[in-house]
Chain A
């Protein structure tokens, strides 16, 4: 690994945005031997990275994303050795359940289609599923079981990568908001609200819902929206529900999901989203959405109706028009890279995105296919 450049305001790479993507990229860039400055407006992993459901799930993803998701899953398993902590990752299995025949057919087709990508799913009938997962409700029909997926604690994962990046020699600078990015002949000049200026020949924008404006400032605008997931958690009860359970309904309001943590609480989310405000940095949690989630959660796990909800929350997530992230090099500016807008499904991908982007930035290539996520698709 190289030492710091003598000028503390310069590095090989500047990363704007210290969410999961930025923190993981910083960590893996250090392993590639590049010097890194990570600029975070607030604290590492505070926005979408910290408030999401915590799904470490591959099944039902866009097929073209599975190579990246597979790579990420390998890193999740390896995290204690890599960064010294596991962020409460458990390989608990993940089941997608349906209540209609049409949705069931979709699951069966996906289980066939994903096989060439190395994802092995088991399709079960409702009865088979209830034999293996007795908490599942009587209305459940077809179930798709992914034994090697699981869940983790989103409040811990990105900050853990941030600390690991710092230990590895990255300069992780929090409470520092970027207000302007320009490119001179060789370098990007990044100016911050508190009057600092940073310089690097390579730059990654991984600022989540705030990434769109930064990309647009380089002439690369995209269809984009900021939304807030509607999350909640119950009081704790003895640990019984091992797999993450999600409803694969094509009706948005029915699409709820839940996981029980080993402490006993059941974390849930899904259904409708709220509209987030990127200026105030707040996404509302609508209590009526919480009410709408209740009957659908009880359809998945009827015993949940006997519990009480102790907290709900939301956070600002960036959604791209075609529901796929912006990831890869800029189509206009050499040295500029993007990794943002993960449309509410970025948590599982975080470590894989970090490793892949670091590879791409350091060597100019990666074996992971990123074509579907290239920003040029909107030009």
Chain B
């Protein structure tokens, strides 16, 4: 399909910079964006009829957000932009996309996937109570709709997003009841060594924490989540053990939670890219070389959809993947451009790994989850059911467990629960988590209306 266009999937920092670089080389890429407006998640744009200032929405990153939006607007005449469009499958003829009820087959010569990431969730008793959200959802509500998830939310989990979202809520006039971080202060200090290379980013994080503390928001480190409480089918409080083991409680009307991020890797899986287990992020991801080339010669990956390094790295990685596409397609790209981007990303790699060390995924919590805690919320599958698959039904890996007791069998195909379910299965079988594998992706990646028709 050499004559077909280059496709960029996603229009966040990585996708935008990839498209921009392709246009600079004289190409006219197709940019497929699941969102209705360009920007991605961290630089998500508000609807057209909303008029909040960038400083209000993006804080210290306002200038970057504005530049990403402006640059994209300038690209519009030179690209085939398809907003509100989801890639849901792969056929021999090309990518299967859907917008509303219209399915289109999009042939490609090469494709750059910049599918981003979603929150990594560790279930806790009560987490399916109405009023409990992921951190990302809490942020989308605020950015896209100027809505808060509650008047008095608790933010619980770990990672920089915890403090960013709490701070954004504070800025919007909603004072969080507490911020609960499973990472201990000493753990964070260890990760800080690698993060020193990006002092400004660390300083921003510290500033968010300081602002929260100054406003009287309690920040707890090294906590162990115990339960999200509810009354009248609505979140009413959070119970946790503090770093000294004391049982604590905070009243609240909503919870935003997340334990770092997980890459959205389904499309790379459907395209049969090779996957590896990344011990730093303790998750499976597609294998890429340092330019974003996968095991498939026509598929490239960039951004948090393959390596969790944040928005700045995503911009560089997007440009780099585009450079690789151009060079592989016979265009001239100077070595210096590759070298400069590699240098930028070396710093980001170190920083990303430092973050993962400072805010580790609390895998140990999976082992202690009570049997009756729901893990897969689509199918209402409990930790006990996963343990039954591990033991009585002898499932050695995730797909077998899914076949026998259904974790990951529902609408989200395990995007929400898969990593936690893998920890529970691994703990029950007493093996490292990499040995229980990963859930295979099936089309459609997102639910597909049954009344669709193919438009040619």
Whether the pair A305, B393 counts as a contact (CB closer than 8 A) is no
In the complex, the chain A residue whose C-beta lies closest to that of B93 is: A288
Whether the pair A294, B450 counts as a contact (CB closer than 8 A) is yes
Whether the pair A291, B447 counts as a contact (CB closer than 8 A) is no
Q: How far is it, in angstroms, between the C-alpha of A294 and the C-alpha of B394 when the chains are bound?
A: 37
Whether the pair A285, B443 counts as a contact (CB closer than 8 A) is yes
**A146-170 CB contact bits vs B (8 Å, 1 = yes)?**
0000000001100100010000000
CB contacts (< 8 Å) of B379 on chain A: these are 263
Whether the pair A309, B448 counts as a contact (CB closer than 8 A) is yes
**B73-93 CB contact bits vs A (8 Å, 1 = yes)?**
000000000000000111111
Whether the pair B411, A235 counts as a contact (CB closer than 8 A) is yes
Does A307 count as interface, using CB distance less than 8 angstroms?
yes
A294 CB contact (under 8 Å) in B393, B410, B452: B452
Interface centre among B379, B413, B448, B449 (most CB of A within 10 A): B448
Q: How far is it, in angstroms, between the C-alpha of A234 and the C-alpha of B449 when the chains are bound?
A: 9
A287 CB contact (under 8 Å) in B91, B396, B410: B91
In the complex, the chain A residue whose C-beta lies closest to that of B88 is: A287
CB contacts (< 8 Å) of B413 on chain A: these are 310-311
In the complex, the chain A residue whose C-beta lies closest to that of B441 is: A311
A156 CB contact (under 8 Å) in B90, B404, B409, B442: B404
Does B403 count as interface, using CB distance less than 8 angstroms?
yes
CB contacts (< 8 Å) of B448 on chain A: these are 290, 308-309
With A286-B91, A287-B89 given, is the CB distance from A234 to B450 under 8 Å?
yes
A312 CB contact (under 8 Å) in B393, B444, B454: B444
Whether the pair B403, A305 counts as a contact (CB closer than 8 A) is no
For chain B, residues 383 to 404, give those with C-beta under 8 angstroms from any C-beta of chain A.
Answer: 393-394, 396, 400, 403-404
Interface centre among A291, A304, A312 (most CB of B within 10 A): A291
Whether the pair A287, B90 counts as a contact (CB closer than 8 A) is yes
For chain A, residues 282 to 308, give those with C-beta under 8 angstroms from any C-beta of chain B.
Answer: 285-288, 290-291, 294, 297-298, 304-308
Whether the pair B450, A305 counts as a contact (CB closer than 8 A) is yes
For chain B, residues 95 to 133, give those with C-beta under 8 angstroms from any C-beta of chain A.
Answer: 96, 103, 105
Whether the pair B451, A305 counts as a contact (CB closer than 8 A) is yes
Does A43 count as interface, using CB distance less than 8 angstroms?
yes
B331 to chain A, nearest CB (A): 32
**B429-456 CB contact bits vs A (8 Å, 1 = yes)?**
0000000000000111001111111100
B451 CB contact (under 8 Å) in A288, A298, A312, A313: A298
Q: How far is it, in angstroms, between the C-alpha of A164 and the C-alpha of B105 when the chains are bound?
A: 47
- The number of chain A residues with a CB under 8 A from chain B is 29
In the complex, the chain A residue whose C-beta lies closest to that of B380 is: A263
With A155-B404, A311-B413 given, is the CB distance from A294 to B91 under 8 Å?
no
Does A328 count as interface, using CB distance less than 8 angstroms?
no
CB contacts (< 8 Å) of A297 on chain B: these are 450
Q: How far is it, in angstroms, between the C-alpha of A286 and the C-alpha of B451 when the chains are bound?
A: 17
Whether the pair B400, A43 counts as a contact (CB closer than 8 A) is yes
In the complex, the chain B residue whose C-beta lies closest to that of A50 is: B403
Q: How far is it, in angstroms, between the C-alpha of A310 and the C-alpha of B442 when the chains are bound?
A: 9
Overall SS of chain B's interface: loop
Whether the pair A155, B444 counts as a contact (CB closer than 8 A) is no
CB contacts (< 8 Å) of B396 on chain A: these are 43
A367 to chain B, nearest CB (A): 35
A290 CB contact (under 8 Å) in B394, B400, B443, B451: B443
Q: How far is it, in angstroms, between the C-alpha of A43 and the C-alpha of B394 when the chains are bound?
A: 10
A310 CB contact (under 8 Å) in B394, B410, B451: B410
Q: How far is it, in angstroms, between the C-alpha of A305 and the C-alpha of B448 when the chains are bound?
A: 11
CB contacts (< 8 Å) of A307 on chain B: these are 449-450
Whether the pair A312, B442 counts as a contact (CB closer than 8 A) is yes
With A287-B96, A294-B452 given, is the CB distance from A309 to B444 under 8 Å?
yes
With A235-B411, A287-B89, A287-B443 given, is the CB distance from A308 to B454 under 8 Å?
no
CB contacts (< 8 Å) of B103 on chain A: these are 291
Whether the pair B452, A291 counts as a contact (CB closer than 8 A) is yes
In the complex, the chain A residue whose C-beta lies closest to that of B449 is: A308
**B42-81 CB contact bits vs A (8 Å, 1 = yes)?**
0000000000000000000000000000000000000000
Whether the pair A308, B447 counts as a contact (CB closer than 8 A) is yes
Q: How far is it, in angstroms, between the C-alpha of A263 and the C-alpha of B403 when the chains are bound?
A: 15
Whether the pair A304, B450 counts as a contact (CB closer than 8 A) is yes
B447 CB contact (under 8 Å) in A163, A285, A306, A310: A310
Whether the pair B450, A159 counts as a contact (CB closer than 8 A) is no
CB contacts (< 8 Å) of B444 on chain A: these are 287, 290, 309-312
B388 to chain A, nearest CB (A): 12
A317 to chain B, nearest CB (A): 17
Whether the pair A298, B96 counts as a contact (CB closer than 8 A) is no
In the complex, the chain B residue whose C-beta lies closest to that of A311 is: B442
Q: How far is it, in angstroms, between the C-alpha of A284 and the C-alpha of B443 when the chains are bound?
A: 11
Whether the pair A288, B454 counts as a contact (CB closer than 8 A) is yes
Q: How far is it, in angstroms, between the C-alpha of A163 and the C-alpha of B92 when the chains are bound?
A: 39
Q: What are some 13 contacts across the A-B interface (CB < 8 A)?
A: A43-B396, A46-B403, A163-B394, A263-B379, A287-B91, A290-B443, A290-B444, A290-B448, A291-B454, A305-B451, A307-B449, A308-B449, A311-B409
Ordered nearest first, which 6 A-B pairs have the shortest CB separation?
A308-B447, A287-B89, A305-B451, A155-B403, A311-B442, A309-B448
